[in-house]
Structure 1
Amino acid sequence: MLLLGNMMNVIGEGDDVLLYLDGRRTYMVRVEAGKQFHTHRGYVELGELIGRPYGSTIMSSLNISFHALKPLIRDRVLKTDRRTQVLYPKDIGFILLHVGVGAGSRVVEAGTGSGALTMALAEVVKPDGMIYSYDINPKFQGVAAGNIERAGLMEYVELKEGDITVGIDEADVDAVILDLATPWLVVRHAYEALAGSGVFVSFSPTIEQVMKTVYALKDHPFIEVETIELLLRNYTVAQNRTRPRTQMLGHSGYITTARKVIGEGNP
């Protein structure tokens, strides 16, 4: 078991690596023999990373240190090839914890976009679960497929080109998660697709969308209907001058959640 763990922590050809220069500059690269990665701080011979453990330090041609880290899902979300606005890790983290899905869970998602949330969900439900991700735009799903495949998670995802406001094919799913312009049009379909006690989640940038969605939820047997907004502030920590940073990650959207019950719902 120890040997297997060690092998999994060794960089191989074709693996993704997050090259860390400093807190503001990181680069997602794919390791290949004979390939160079060029930066303003010199180039890095990526082939030299093969066989070395993640976390190793490699020097650039200008003798600058880079650290070769194993990419987290957070890193893949932030470095993903984007054609649409992606959810931030602060919002994705809340959604993952709130829906309570895990290995073996089945989740319907709508608004695949670039696949950021899709990847995070797939990482959580593997190896026995499945994400059914709907989007009406085939170009977006093509981008998402590339991102998901690069993360090695495609076997846990079924990409579905279609309009989820018309209906949901799946039944008895554990969660329905929406990131689209008209989530209130999906509430009835979500109720029908969810298993009892299943979780509904909607991410919306405007309060008008939230209001319409909440009104629709209250017309169906859902309980614990709540809407939250997450604000993230980083701090600079130093001797005698610890302070909040002047810039913070403020409004990105509102997250509305609810749970399905069998029978009459209550607020």
Structure 2
Amino acid sequence: MLQRWGGRVASLCQAVSGYRVPPCGCQALLTCRHHTCPPGAGHPKGNTDSPGDGPMDTPPGLDTSPPSDQPRFVGGSRAWGRSLSPLHRLSQMLPPQFLSPEIQDLRSAESEEPLLTHSPPEGSSGLDSQPDGPPAPLGTAFAPGDLVIAEFKRRHYTEFKKMFSLTDSGKLNSNWGVVGHMEIVGKLPGQRLRTSRGFEFLLKRPSLEEYILLMKRGPTISYPKDIAAMLMMMDVSPGDVVLEAGSGSGGMTLFLSRAVGLEGRVYSFEVRADHHAIAKKNVSKWRSAWDVRSRNPWPENVHFINQDLSAALPTMGSVAFDAAALDMLNPQVALPAILTCLKQGGVCAVYVANITQVIDLLEGIRSCRLPLLCEKIQEMSVKDWLVAPSVRKDGTVSQRVEPQGNTESELEGNGADPQSDTEMLSNAVKPFGQVPYIARPLPWQAGHTAFLVQLRKIRAAPTRTEPEESS
């Protein structure tokens, strides 16, 4: 067997050594696999390497023609015109002046006509030019009473982030400098402003998620990832009437208020007076800032009740709830009172901190024979990623390393500085496909926050009192 395989290898090596590749084929192999050699290039008669050469010898047994039953690949794409490379398909949507020479070569190799590029005017990076058309919308400028977030990042990481309300005589003091509130009034969200020390702060309006994470807290807040899952469990829609047991700091209350809309209502119960006051203050602060930034006022659909849930529900009359959100230490104690006001088929979304509370909740439902069905128990996890251009400590963008030999020795032999090109192009916009990226999870992640339990109110099937008649 070894002798037979050895003979085959020897014959194959002899056949390959006798095969001569045309010059254009060598160039295609050395540059890029997307370059193709047109028929007859470099050999006018179709069977010679160059004028004056003899016929190109094709060794016996070596078939160089593509099989007929296989799809032909032309210029790095299939025969029916679909590109194989996502980078190539993405480059088709970009203007030619933003493409690197390598991408331009790939595009020009597929078409007979060369790719025409238009260089931007001197002193311009090419990004400042805007196409002719209607002006871009500007949005609403900052005004006194508006909520603002000032953020400063250094090398992909946030070093300063603060939310505050604009006033006529206020100032933002930080280790990175001072900014007066009147300097921010009139600016648009997304603009940058220099501090007294020369640092640039990014100004933006807080989203509801950012407001909940940065607002003043009393008890521990429900994190937005858990709030979103609870809203999906309860399937809250505009016009619903929702019960909230445990106002906390008002985070869940704001999301429920936005979900039910103008025609809905939210009844938020809190037994502690200090937590009740903090929740009302946070909701009022968000509503006031919303009225400054938006033409449509925030709906006033939240009713705060500083009373025990079991004692307050019997006095509310004939209020029927479509869903209920519970964030309590012992939710199984309040379930019997909630079930009397919850609609048939309604969902209770329960927020508990540890798994022992989940066991106590299910045991309380079982021992009290409550008409509740546990549909799911979830623990939400979110992983944040960092995807950004690779930047050195001095702020310059790293160079893309080509898969070649020992480039450092070549540079040293030529007397070239390896960082000279990077320093010259640090302020210029590099073409598409020339900047290396880093992609990795952030070093800090939000771990376990809570267990979410979905309970649905059910009705047992009636028991049969008479035996079935036999047919």
Q: TM-score, normalised by structure 1?
A: 0.88
- Alignment equivalent of 2:148, drawn from 1, 17, 41: 17
**What are the superposed Cα offsets for residues 2-31 of structure 1, whole Å, 9 maximum, x if unpaired?**
xxxx79733221111122223533211111
Alpha-carbon contact 1:187-1:216 (below 8 Å) kept: no
Paired with 1:8 and 1:141, the residues of 2 have a C-alpha distance of 35
| Matched residues, number | 260
| Higher alpha-carbon Rg | 2
Q: Map 1:170-185; keep pairs closer than 5 Å.
A: 171-185=319-333
Q: Which runs of 4+ in 1 moved over 6 A?
A: none
Q: Map 1:79-94; keep pairs closer than 5 Å.
A: 79-94=214-229
Q: Map 1:57-206; keep pairs closer than 5 Å.
A: 57-152=192-287, 155-166=300-311, 168=313, 169=316, 171-206=319-354
Q: TM-score, normalised by structure 2?
A: 0.52
Q: What SS is found at the alignment partner of 2:340?
A: helix
Q: What SS is found at the alignment partner of 1:242?
A: strand
Paired with 1:167 and 1:231, the residues of 2 have a C-alpha distance of 35
Alpha-carbon contact 1:134-1:164 (below 8 Å) kept: yes
Amino acid at match of 1:228: Q
Q: What SS is found at the alignment partner of 1:201?
A: strand
Deviation at 1:248, TM superposition (A): 2.1
Paired with 1:195 and 1:182, the residues of 2 have a C-alpha distance of 22
Paired with 1:130 and 1:69, the residues of 2 have a C-alpha distance of 30
Deviation at 1:150, TM superposition (A): 0.4
Q: What SS is found at the alignment partner of 1:258?
A: strand
Deviation at 1:182, TM superposition (A): 0.7
Deviation at 1:178, TM superposition (A): 0.8
Identity %: 23
Paired with 1:151 and 1:19, the residues of 2 have a C-alpha distance of 17
Paired with 1:121 and 1:185, the residues of 2 have a C-alpha distance of 23
Unpaired runs of 5+ in structure 1?
A: 1-5
* Match status 1:252 vs 2:449: yes
Paired with 2:338 and 2:139, the residues of 1 have a C-alpha distance of 39
Alpha-carbon contact 2:374-2:453 (below 8 Å) kept: no
Unpaired runs of 5+ in structure 2?
A: 1-136, 288-297, 389-435, 463-471
Deviation at 1:165, TM superposition (A): 4.0
Deviation at 1:106, TM superposition (A): 1.5
Amino acid at match of 1:227: I
Q: Which residue pairs with 1:36 in the alignment? A: 171
- Distance change (3 Å), C-alpha of 1:245 and 1:55: closer
Deviation at 1:126, TM superposition (A): 2.5
Alpha-carbon contact 1:145-1:154 (below 8 Å) kept: no
Aligned Cα root-mean-square deviation (Å): 2.3
